[in-house]
Structure 1
Amino acid sequence: MRRLNILALGIMLAIGMLASCSRKDKTPEKPVESSAPADAAGMLDLVPEDPGVAGWARQGEVRFFDEDGLFELINGAAESYFVYGFRQVAAVEYGNPAHSSPILLELYRMEDTRNAFGIYRSELQPDADFRSIGAEGYIGETGLNFWAGPYYAKLVVYEDSEELRREMEKFALRLAERIGVSGDLPPEVALFPEKDLVPHSIRFLPADVLGQTYLREAFEARYRSGGGETRVVVLSPGGEAAAREALDKYRIFTATGGEVIREVSSPGDGGFVGKDAYYGPMAALQSGGRIAIALGGTSADAALRQAAACLAEK
C-alpha cells in the first residue's frame, strides 16, 4: 500500500512539473506585426512624428499589421477588409499636453482606389456629417473617417468634445495633404445619373453581388421616386459574351425564386423584367459588356426605366 502511495505521489509531482513547464512556455498572444512590410517606409512617411498640427506629436512607435495580424487589431471586422483587398495598416497614437484624449489613427492601405472607396462607403453611417477631406470624409461625435487614393483613414478620440473634433479635422486635412493623390471618385460612379439618386448611396461590391458568385466587381446605387426605392447594380463581367452568360444565369435565378414576366429586346441588347422574391419589381438589361439590374420601386416598368438610364451613361 505504501509503495502504491509513493507511486501515486510521484505521478502527481510529474504532472505538476509538466503543467508548470507548459505555463512557463505559453506567453500571451499579441497582434502579429509585419516584420518587414514592403511598403512600410512609404506609409511611415504618412504618419510622421510631427503631424503638422500645433501641439500634437506621435507617441510611441508606429505599428504595422498585415493580414495575419489584422484579426487581432479589429477582431471580427477583418474579413470585410480582406474582401476589399486589404494590404496593410499603420496604427499610431498622437498626443497633445493641452488635451486629455489622444488621437488614435488607423491608416489602411487597400489594393487600389476602388477598394478604398468600397470599404469607406461600406462603413458609412446614415447620419454622417460630411467633410471635404481627401476624396470624401465624415465626422461623428468621437471619430472621423475619410478615404483618398488607395488609403482609408480612421481617427478616434476618447471624449465627445467640439474642440477635439476640430483638432481631428485639422489632423485629417494634414494627413490627406501628405497622401497627396487626386480626390476624384472612381470613374464608375459616373454610370449613375443624378436624377432621384440618394446622396452618397453609391457603393462598390467586390464579390458575391446580390448573393451570386458569378456577379463580381459591381457598383450599386439607390434611387427614390414616386414613393418607392430602387436598388440598381451595374457591372462589367468581362466582355459581351461573359455579360450575356451572367444575364442568362440571373434570369434562371430570378425564375427559380420569383418570376420572369417578359423578355425585352431593348434598350441596349435587351434583357427581361420580372418579380424578385425579396425586392418585388425588377428588370435586368445588357448593353455590350455591361449589365444593369434594378430591384424594387413602384413597378417592373419603373425598374426597367431606371436600369436603362444607368446603361445610357458612359
Structure 2
Amino acid sequence: PAVGAARLLPGAGTVPGWEPADEVQRFTGDDLFLFIDGGADLFLEYGFREVAARAYRGPGGAAINAEIYEMADPGAAFGVYSVRCGDAGDEAAVGSAARLADYYLTVWQDRYVATFTGLSETPAVRDGLVAIGRAVAGGIAGRAPAPALATALPAAGQRPHSVRYIRGPVAAANIPLGEAVLPWQAPEAAAARYGGTGGHAPATEVTLYLLAYPDAAAAGHAFRRMTAGSEAAVDAAGGLTFMSPQKQPGRAERRGRHVAVAVGGDAAGRRELLGKVNAEQRTASGWE
C-alpha cells in the first residue's frame, strides 16, 4: 500500500471521470531539485519532507498533473501556499484554503500543500481540478489553523489574497517589498498589504510586517541594529523610521519579542496601520 504523501493520491475508480495515467513519483530531501528546477529552495527553506506526484486522464483525453508536498508542519505548508498562490485566482471550497486560477489549483490543509495543473483550459478540466483536489483533501485527517502571526494581521483594509507567511529570505524575496524585512533577520514573519484602493484607509498602499523573534532580547538587538542605519532615526514615541533597501520609507515599533514594520505609502498611513496592531490583537497572538 502507498505510504506518506503518496497515499493521498486518488487511485483508480476514486474520482468519477478521472483515472491515474502513470505510476506515482516520490522525491524526498534535496532530490526535490530533480523534480522542480528553480523552485525547490522555497520548499526546503520552510521544511520539506517529500513530494508525491501523479498524472490523471479525464474526459476527451484531458490531463491533470497532481503534486502533493508534505512539509515539516502546518505552518510550513501554509507559508508555501501563501507565497506560491500570490494574488492570483479565486477562493475554492477545497481543504482548509484553496485558490483556483484558470487551469491551476493550489490547496493547503494541515502539513500538506498540493498543486493541480490542467494541461488545457476547459470547464471539464476546471471541474476535474476541484474533484481531484477534494479527493486529496478528504484523505488528510488534520485541519490545523493558520499560523498565529498570520492571523494577527489586522483585517480592516487588508487587500484580498495579500497575506504571506515567511520563514526565511527565499520567501521574503518572492513577495512585494519583501527585501524590506531581510535586514531585520527575523526567523518568522507575516505580511499583508493595505489601502490604496480608493475606498480603504490608508489612502496609499502600505505593506505591514509582523516579525517574531525567540525572545525580547533578540527583538531588542534587531531593533537597535536597525537604528544604526544611515537613514534611520528613533522618534520621541520610540518608533523607528528608516528607508528600505528598495528606497521605500518605513516605520517600526517593538513590543516584547515582536516588531511591527510598515513599509511604503505616506507617514500618516504607516502610523495608522501600526495603530491597528492594537493591544487586543497583540494579547491574542502573543504580543506581550
Q: TM-score range by the shorter chain?
A: 0.7 to 0.9
Whether 1:90 and 2:57 are equivalent positions in the alignment is no
Deviations along 1:197-216, one digit per CA (max 9) or x if unpaired, are 11221111112362226322
SS in structure 1 at match of 2:168: coil
Whether 1:59 and 2:24 are equivalent positions in the alignment is no
**Corresponding position of 1:73:** 35
Equivalent runs, 1:1-314 vs 2, <5 Å: 41-50=3-12, 52-96=14-58, 98-182=59-143, 184-208=145-169, 210-212=181-183, 214-224=185-195, 225-252=201-228, 255-256=229-230, 258-260=231-233, 262-265=234-237, 270-276=238-244, 278-299=246-267, 301-310=268-277, 312=279, 313=281, 314=284
Deviations along 1:229-265, one digit per CA (max 9) or x if unpaired, are 111111221111111111111222xx32x342x4244
C-alpha separation between the residues in 2 aligned to 1:272 and 1:304? 11
C-alpha separation between the residues in 2 aligned to 1:125 and 1:240? 31
Change (3 A) 1:87 1:51: farther
Identical aligned residues as a percent: 26
C-alpha separation between the residues in 2 aligned to 1:306 and 1:167? 41
The one-letter code sitting in structure 1 at the alignment partner of 2:5 is M
SS in structure 1 at match of 2:99: strand
C-alpha separation between the residues in 2 aligned to 1:113 and 1:240? 25
Change (3 A) 1:171 1:48: closer
Deviations along 1:90-115, one digit per CA (max 9) or x if unpaired, are 0112223x331222111001111111
Question: Number of residues paired by the alignment?
Answer: 265
Larger Rg: 1
TM-score by length of 1: 0.77
Offset of residue 179 of structure 1: 1.2
C-alpha separation between the residues in 2 aligned to 1:127 and 1:113? 22
C-alpha separation between the residues in 2 aligned to 1:90 and 1:80? 17
Unpaired runs of at least 5, structure 1 = 1-39
Instruction: Tell me the C-alpha RMSD between the 2 structures.
Output: 2.1
Offset of residue 282 of structure 1: 1.9
Does structure 2 retain, via aligned residues, the 8 Å contact 1:50–1:57? yes
C-alpha separation between the residues in 2 aligned to 1:51 and 1:310? 50
C-alpha separation between the residues in 1 aligned to 2:168 and 2:141? 29
The one-letter code sitting in structure 2 at the alignment partner of 1:106 is E
The one-letter code sitting in structure 1 at the alignment partner of 2:27 is F
**Corresponding position of 1:32:** none
Deviations along 1:154-204, one digit per CA (max 9) or x if unpaired, are 111211101111121111112111113226322222211111111221111
Does structure 1 retain, via aligned residues, the 8 Å contact 2:77–2:112? yes
C-alpha separation between the residues in 2 aligned to 1:121 and 1:226? 23
The one-letter code sitting in structure 2 at the alignment partner of 1:72 is L
C-alpha separation between the residues in 2 aligned to 1:264 and 1:147? 43
SS in structure 2 at match of 1:75: coil
> 105-114 or 44-53, which moves further after superposition?
44-53
Does structure 2 retain, via aligned residues, the 8 Å contact 1:56–1:95? yes
SS in structure 2 at match of 1:182: coil
C-alpha separation between the residues in 1 aligned to 2:139 and 2:168? 31
Change (3 A) 1:190 1:125: closer
Unpaired runs of at least 5, structure 2 = 173-180, 196-200
C-alpha separation between the residues in 2 aligned to 1:123 and 1:43? 19
Offset of residue 59 of structure 1: 3.0
Deviations along 1:272-302, one digit per CA (max 9) or x if unpaired, are 2344463543211111111111111221x43
SS in structure 1 at match of 2:240: strand
The one-letter code sitting in structure 2 at the alignment partner of 1:60 is D
> 154-163 or 59-68, which moves further after superposition?
59-68
Moved over 6 A (4+): none
Offset of residue 223 of structure 1: 1.0
C-alpha separation between the residues in 2 aligned to 1:125 and 1:232? 16
C-alpha separation between the residues in 2 aligned to 1:108 and 1:193? 29
Offset of residue 125 of structure 1: 4.2
